[in-house]
Amino acid sequence: MTAPKATHETTKHILEQEVARYESRTPKSAAMYERAEALMPFGVASSFQVGDPYPIYMASGNGSHVTDIDGNTYVDYHNGFGAMAVGHAHPKVREAIERAAKTGTHFAATTEDDLLLAEELNRRFGMEKVRFVNSGSEATMDAVRLARAASGKDVLLKIEGSYHGHHDAVMYSVVPTMDSGSTEERAWSEPFSRGIPRGTEQHTMIVPFNDVEALEKTLAEHGDVIGAMIMEPVMMNLGIIVPQPGYLAKVRELCTSHNVVMIFDEVKTGVTIAAGGATEYFGVQPDLVCLAKSIGGGTPIGAFGGRANIMDEIEHGVAALGTFNGNPLSVASSLAALTEVLTPDAYEHLAKMGTRLAQGCQAALDKAGVGAHTTDLGCKGSITFSERKLVHYRDFQTIDDSLFDASWYWLINRGIFQTPGKEEQWTISVQHTEDDIDLFVNVFDDYCQSVTSA
Ligand SMILES: Cc1ncc(COP(=O)(O)O)c(C=O)c1O
């Protein structure tokens, strides 16, 4: 392995230079931030949208590009935190939304489109029954409640360092500091927010990813109270961490033998890494699947579903509610996205673009001798600034933050819009072209050269 040549002085210098350049290119975003801060906490609509020294405010999107309020245009690899696999303003999605706008955008009564969408999700994920919701958080919140009811056991098992939305049950050990009582054997249920009632942590236990032994031990000791296990089959809130061969199948086996409802949170992996997400990709069928983001073609929608005997608990006293569930506008957009845009040809294109990007970036890293690696999974991929492939959250903490931070500003200043944070990854849309990919690769190649040549 090549030793990293980049020094902290170099990355610090590049970061300072690039932040100054960012500020000079985005004065209107700076002014908008002043206004927004007075009206909204952090000046943004979600705390995940914060930026330093201020976030970029967007004006429009078209195809693979977005344009900010200063008129700077970027190739979009952020893609709405992974929700825009169809790309911006796709003609088929636009048509569906316009049609829905003309025929009524909300009834709170079920339509035939809801059934068509349920059939499509069934086809992709083997969900026998589906319930629509409005976001990924709602999907995981309802799925966890349903799983607890179905198993008759209250404790939820969750993976260390995973994010499943912002409701209390899953807000433990999202970014644990590891200094609050955790041991190698037993990770601590550390809350990710103030305002979560003390005592709630008793109902969420934590295990590390890719660790069959820890799971076996936890279930052997606490299987009588653990009723549900939620996991991202590929961890996508730590860059990308893939499951080790056989791991998911073993989790499936252990959940079955301990009467634990197995929930795949496919909010990020669903319809992106394959038509049927990780469920199809790895050939492991969970009891429930949670979906959101890219299933909606850019509108807010989520869904959870799976085994009929579990879903039918909703007919026996499990609340699963929502005024906007199955909203005609979102469902029309979702149907168009899944049946007209994200077709088998589209998945071929996404895979080709993804591999071109990952291989191009890996070649740039290797040429410059930067100790980092890329991951390539359909339209998702990442650059992880660590020489070693990561296995779980504790590895993720060893990443070189300074290399990531400097690269983010370097790339945005040269027309590449990425998610703000090393815990994220790129999302390519069906509208990305080889030229879009090559721009990213070339700009990243220049970054690798600059960071190692000082
Ligand atoms: C894996 C995963 N699950 C759930 C969620 C929550 O989805 P939403 O932001 O739509 O509530 C996210 C959001 O990033 C996610 O990455």
CA distance 241 to 239: 7
Res. 454 pLDDT band, cuts 50 70 90: low
Cα separations (Å) of 362 from 41, 54, 278, 357, 438?
38, 30, 24, 8, 13
What tens digit of pLDDT does each residue of 412-437 get?
A: 999 999 998 889 999 999 999 999 99
Please compute the mean of the pLDDT values over residues 352-366 and round it to a whole number.
98
Under 8 Å between Cβ of 49 and 399: no
The residues carrying an active-site annotation are: 163, 265, 293
Q: How far is the CA of 395 from the centre of ligand 1 (A)?
A: 22
Report which ligand 1 atom has the smallest distance to the Cα of 48. Answer: 14
Report which ligand 1 atom has the smallest distance to the Cα of 237. Answer: 16
Q: What is the pLDDT of residue 4?
A: 47
Structure tokens that stand for 304 in this block? 């959870």
Q: Which amino acid is at 73?
A: T
CA angle 50-418-72, nearest 5°? Answer: 85
Report which ligand 1 atom has the smallest distance to the Cα of 300. Answer: 10
CA distance 358 to 273: 14
> Given ligand 1 and candidates 163, 295, 304, 330, which is best to mutate, with the most ligand atoms within 8 Å of its CB?
163
Q: Which residue has the tokens 């089959």?
A: 233
What tens digit of pLDDT does each residue of 77-123 get?
A: 999 999 999 999 999 999 999 999 999 999 999 999 999 999 999 99
Q: What is the pLDDT of residue 17?
A: 97
Q: Find the residues whose C-beta lies inside 6 A of ligand 1.
A: 81, 135-137, 140, 163-165, 232, 237, 265, 267-268, 292
Cα separations (Å) of 355 from 247, 380, 382?
25, 10, 11
Q: What is the pLDDT of residue 5?
A: 61
CA distance 137 to 145: 12
Q: Where are the alpha helices (DSSP H) in 277-412?
A: 277-282, 308-311, 328-336, 344-368, 393-396, 401-412
317: pLDDT strictly greater than 90 = yes
Q: What is the pLDDT of residue 150?
A: 98
CA distance 371 to 150: 47
Q: How far is the CA of 165 from the centre of ligand 1 (A)?
A: 5
What tens digit of pLDDT does each residue of 228-252 get?
A: 999 999 999 999 999 999 999 999 9
Q: How far is the CA of 29 from the centre of ligand 1 (A)?
A: 26
> Given ligand 1 and candidates 232, 293, 424, which is best to mutate, with the most ligand atoms within 8 Å of its CB?
293
Closest Cα to atom 2 of ligand 1: 164
- pTM more than 0.75: yes
Closest Cα to atom 13 of ligand 1: 165
Q: Which residue, among 425, 106, 380, has the nearest Cα to 239 in the 3D structure? A: 425
Burial of residue 189 (number of CB atoms within 10 Å: 0-12, 13-18, 19+): buried
Q: Which residue, among 169, 209, 159, has the nearest Cα to 193 in the 3D structure? A: 169
